[in-house]
Structure 1
């Protein structure tokens, strides 16, 4: 889920990509070192050896105050499926047992379920696979949920009954809780007024072509130009600054991960006769499912950020640096 700080970070990544079109390890568009940061200048940026007065330029991205603007969100806040994660684990029927198989490579994922009929009762068990699991641990967890269940290496069985099995994946559902308009200040800092003009013109031209930028949750934010101004109140310190103001419209989302339906149940009525069918969903450990989903969501968020801004990260000071550093 994108918040104001994450959207500001995405804007900083965009600016870094503009100033370093061949990558952060290559020269900038001016040939000078240009440091991109989400946040204000630090005292060391002005007074340390590597500072503005030593042919080092800075670009900062900060939140700017503004009057609140109401941007209507979708009527009714409908839920939509944004992403699906297919299972990589599989099951196979073997005699009266169900065997669990893991992929030869990659991370195992999915919810494994087994069930059988005992008279008119459907008995079932389910387990959410985590990265630390093996086929043996999954079989053991499932067997522990079944009356008289037995685990033999990667297989599950209940003596005297024929087991059936299935594996399902996960879906990520989202809805827009709030759509907001946030203003950001993109500031250029340099000791050379000519460099300020060169950097500013290049940055302004490139950002003018972008109506949308990718956010770190894999979605989009709308980019709107507001104004530009030179701030020369620090000329007596040989410091020149130019501010570009932009508004970004983005969504605050509610995200829900859930597994696909594995067990179906219902009733059929005909007059006074009512009959039930299907397997009743088991009451398995919820914490295991939540941990599996949280890890999956974190991996998806990280992957979305890397897909949009590969090779970039920020250090503890908010400076955009190469991920390999």
Structure 2
């Protein structure tokens, strides 16, 4: 989920993309070195060899001291599915048995479920991870079914028909708070004409953006507030210009869960409740643990996809190439 510091980071990435349209390894729009940072200037930015007075320009993104306003969130805080991980494992019906089928080139993933109707509707489920095989998954499922047998990747139960299904995972999100925060984008340089060039490029590009991507894959609304020159350090040959922007963004709650595999419920039949559907599988601790591990792996794979590829922050908050 996005917080105020992550929004500073996202805005710094946007500014870096504007000043380095061909990538951070290529020259900036001025041909000079431009350092984009989430946070204020460091002492080394002014007093070391590679500093403002030696043809290095800086753009900093900081939160303003103004108190952020709370914006009403959607009524009811409804949950919505934001990301899906589709299963790569499948099941193949073979007569009254079910065969577990693993993909040839993709990593195996998903939750495999089996059920059959006997005296009671009986079910089994198994969360697949990369270290398992079709045969080991079939064996684990057969162990959960009364009288279950396994032959390779084929699961059977004598005297009944076994059916199968495979589902994936979904990430559900809801807005727990919507807020407004003021941010300051500051240009620092020893050349007043360069300040005008960088400021004009940033201002023009950001004026076209009503929304920017957040680090969690959603959007934040961007509003221009004002601009001012700050020449208090002019006697040190440092020229500064501040652009103020308001960002409206959401704080989210997220929850990963497997898709529904078994349906169950009751109906009113002449004043008597009659159950239908499958009975949920027994929640054995190792089955639950594997499911949680599989969902955690799915969450990592999704969160690793960056909205700003090729960019990262170093320990000082400076935007650098993620390949560095």
**Superposed pair shares fold, TM > 0.5:** yes
How many aligned positions are there? Answer: 321
Q: 1:170: which partner in 2?
A: 169
**What corresponds to 1:289 in structure 2?**
291
- The alpha-carbon distance between structure 1 residues 232 and 138, as it changes in their structure 2 partners (threshold 3 A), is same
Q: Structure 1 unaligned runs (5+)?
A: none
User: 27-36 or 127-136, which moves further after superposition?
Assistant: 127-136
Deviation for aligned residue 1:213: 0.5
What is the TM-score of this pair, normalised by structure 2? 0.91
**Residues 270, 209 of structure 1: alpha-carbon distance in 2 compared, 3 angstrom cutoff:** closer
Query: Residues 154 and 51 from structure 1, CA distance in 2 versus in 1: closer, same or farther, beyond 3 angstroms?
Result: farther
TM-score (normalised: structure 1):
0.91
In the alignment, which residue of structure 2 is the partner of 1:101? 101
1:149 aligns with 2:148: yes
Residues in 2 aligned to 1:161 and 1:58: alpha-carbon distance in whole angstroms = 72
1:92 — aligned with what? 92
**1:21 paired residue number:** 21
Aligned to 1:2: 2
- Report the counterpart of residue 45 of structure 1 in structure 2: 45
What is the match of residue 324 of structure 1?
323
How far apart are the structure 1 equivalents of 2:64 and 2:122? 59
Per the alignment, in what secondary structure is the counterpart of residue 297 of structure 1?
helix
Does the C-alpha gap of structure 1 residues 84 and 58 become closer, same or farther in structure 2, counting only changes over 3 Å? same
Question: Structure 1's 133 and 315: CA in aligned 2 closer, same or farther, altered over 3 A?
Answer: farther
- The one-character-per-residue Cα deviations of 1:195-214 (angstroms, maximum 9, x if unpaired) are 11111111111111111101
Cα distance between partner residues in 2 of 1:154 and 1:39: 56
Gap regions ≥5 residues in structure 2: none
SS of aligned partner of 2:242: strand
- CA positional deviation for 1:149: 3.4
Q: How many Å apart are 1:246 and its aligned residue?
A: 0.8
| Aligned pairs (5 A) from 1:118-267 | 118-119=118-119, 121-267=120-266
Moved more, 158-167 or 71-80: 158-167
The Cα of 1:192 is off from its aligned counterpart by 1.6
Whole-angstrom CA distance in 2 between matches of 1:225 and 1:268: 57
Aligned counterpart in structure 2 of residue 301 of structure 1, from 271, 282, 303: 303
Provide, for residues 221-263 of structure 1, a one-character-per-residue CA deviation record: whole Å limited to 9, x for no partner: 0001112222222223222222111110011111222222211
Equivalent residue of 2:183, what SS? strand
Shift of the 250–263 alpha-carbon distance from structure 1 to 2, 3 Å rule, reads same
1:308-319 equivalences in 2 (<5 Å)? 308-319=307-318
Q: Deviation digits for residues 123-174 of structure 1, max 9, x if unmatched?
A: 1111122233332332233233233434443233334443211111223322
State the alpha-carbon separation in 1 of the partners of residues 246 and 158 from structure 2: 66
- Corresponding position of 1:279: 278
In 2, Cα distance between equivalents of 1:151 and 1:45: 68
1:15 shift after superposition: 0.3
Give 1:58's aligned residue.
58
Shift of 1:95: 4.3
**3-state secondary structure, aligned to 2:138:** helix
Report if aligned partners of 2:68, 2:182 keep a CA contact under 8 Å in 1: no
| Two-structure CA RMSD over aligned residues (Å) | 2.0
